[in-house]
């Protein structure tokens, strides 16, 4: 099973699937469909006879039930095909370190890059594992091609072993998760699932039932433009105004200064000329109250800065992105409890966790499809230091199989 899931993973990561937040289309990049078409071919080849790619780049498929029980819930396993725009995903050259024996890992494509044990202590738990990395010049794509490989490997195992009793299982691979549009066009009626699990987490054994709540904020500034030679007492430079707002942000409320259950205000983009400027932010907190408090603080900072520029104005626009899925999942505790049991059956000690981010499961849960997140085994996502263990991917495959069995047994 480890060879199968690793071989699949190595095929998938060399296909560039970066999403693009500036694109208005779904998928945001047509190259995501290149992977989608390959996945459909592989699903058809293993016996998922209804596998298909839709116009939005989503891949759907079904593993038929093998049970005679008619009350087994329909479970969906889902992962996303795109990789993050944060770092290049073009020309990925995966490296496999067989039987890792400890110590820092130097990346062969950029020998200044090291995956350091001091920064990634999970490496201490991976002695003897086969570890896959990039060459250091691109990200790897374990987020979330590891999840895709694990779901397809589990599907093949279940189809090849029809004596394993399980209900109908739906497969869904999405596009554009990394830019917050992962489930915008999902057809839940066609999917026909009662609930789902994303395979999009990190450390083996982890089940996550909580995410940040998230909003985006845009601040548009209109300044006063005039020839700089005649600007005294008249010019109000929108770029300077934007810089003053950024400078006014609390230093202890940034992603780089927060951890655990702390939220943050994070500037993600700035553009402008003398006359006008734009600031983009993402706001994160585990509670709705915390989210609104941070948005009010940001607007207060903007207002105070603009008060010093009487000829200028601004608009402050908040867009909801996703909400903490725990609100929904707490109403369906068995979904997480069965995942905990499946992880234990697969030979691991389960760990309940919270995500300092979001997954497709956040949005799906509020769309009516409760969806916690299961580990996929990757680490250091969105960076050239990304890595994943073959053995941990195998454990994820076993977890999927055990989950399928559990829901049939308990029906």
Annotated active-site positions, please? 82, 177
Give CA–CA dist 165/363, Å, rounded. Answer: 30
Number of helices and strands in the chain (H, E): 10, 18
In the block, residue with structure tokens 């996929």: 376
Q: 46 with 38: CB under 8 angstroms?
A: no
Structure tokens given for 30: 């047509």
Contact 178, 29 (CB under 8 A): no
Q: How far is CA 375 from CA 38, 90, 348, 395, in A?
A: 24, 25, 12, 9
The sign of the torsion formed by the CA atoms of 184, 149, 333, 407 equals positive
Q: Which two tokens stand for residue 68?
A: 């005679």
| Start-end of H helices in 212-312 | 238-247, 288-306
Other C-beta atoms lying within 10 Å of the C-beta of residue 186: 21
Dist CA 200 CA 314 (whole Å) = 38
Burial of 257 (0-12, 13-18, 19+ CB in 10 A): exposed
């Amino acid at each position: 099973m480890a060879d199968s899931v690793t071989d699949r993973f190595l095929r998938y990561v060399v296909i560039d699937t970066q999403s693009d937040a500036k694109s208005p289309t779904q998928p945001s990049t047509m190259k995501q469909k290149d992977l989608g078409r390959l996945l459909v071919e592989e699903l058809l080849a293993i016996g998922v006879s209804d596998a298909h790619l839709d116009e939005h780049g989503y891949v759907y498929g079904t593993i038929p039930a093998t049970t005679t029980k008619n009350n087994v819930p329909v479970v969906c396993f889902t992962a996303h095909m795109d990789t993050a725009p944060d770092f290049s995903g073009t020309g990925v050259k995966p490296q496999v370190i067989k039987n890792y024996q400890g110590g820092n890992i130097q990346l062969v494509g950029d020998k200044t890059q090291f995956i350091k044990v001091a920064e990634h202590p999970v490496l201490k738990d991976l002695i003897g594992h086969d570890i896959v990395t990039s060459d250091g010049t691109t990200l790897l794509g374990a987020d979330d091609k590891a999840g895709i490989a694990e779901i397809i490997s589990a599907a093949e195992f279940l189809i090849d072993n029809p004596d394993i009793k399980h209900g109908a299982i739906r497969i869904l691979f999405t596009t554009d998760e990394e830019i917050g549009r992962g489930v915008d066009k999902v057809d839940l009626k066609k999917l026909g699932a009662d609930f789902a699990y994303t395979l999009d987490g990190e450390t083996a054994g982890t089940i996550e039932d909580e995410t940040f709540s998230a909003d985006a904020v845009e601040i548009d500034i209109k300044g006063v433009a005039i020839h700089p030679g005649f600007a005294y007492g008249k010019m109000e430079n929108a770029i300077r105004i934007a810089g003053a707002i950024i400078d006014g942000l609390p230093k202890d409320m940034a992603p780089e200064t927060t951890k655990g259950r702390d939220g943050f205000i994070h500037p993600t983009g700035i553009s402008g000329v003398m006359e006008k400027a734009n600031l983009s932010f993402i706001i994160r907190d585990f509670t709705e109250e915390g989210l609104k408090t941070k948005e009010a603080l940001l607007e207060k900072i903007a207002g105070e800065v603009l008060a010093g520029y009487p000829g200028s104005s601004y608009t402050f626009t908040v867009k909801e992105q996703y909400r903490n899925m725990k609100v929904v999942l707490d109403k369906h505790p068995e979904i997480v409890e069965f995942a905990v049991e499946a992880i234990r059956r697969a030979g691991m000690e389960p760990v309940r966790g919270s995500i300092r981010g979001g997954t497709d499961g956040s949005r799906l849960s509020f769309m009516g499809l409760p969806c916690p997140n299961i580990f996929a085994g990757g680490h250091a996502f969105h960076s050239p230091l990304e890595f994943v263990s073959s053995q941990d991917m195998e454990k994820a495959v076993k977890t999927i199989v055990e989950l399928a069995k559990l829901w049939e047994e308990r029906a």
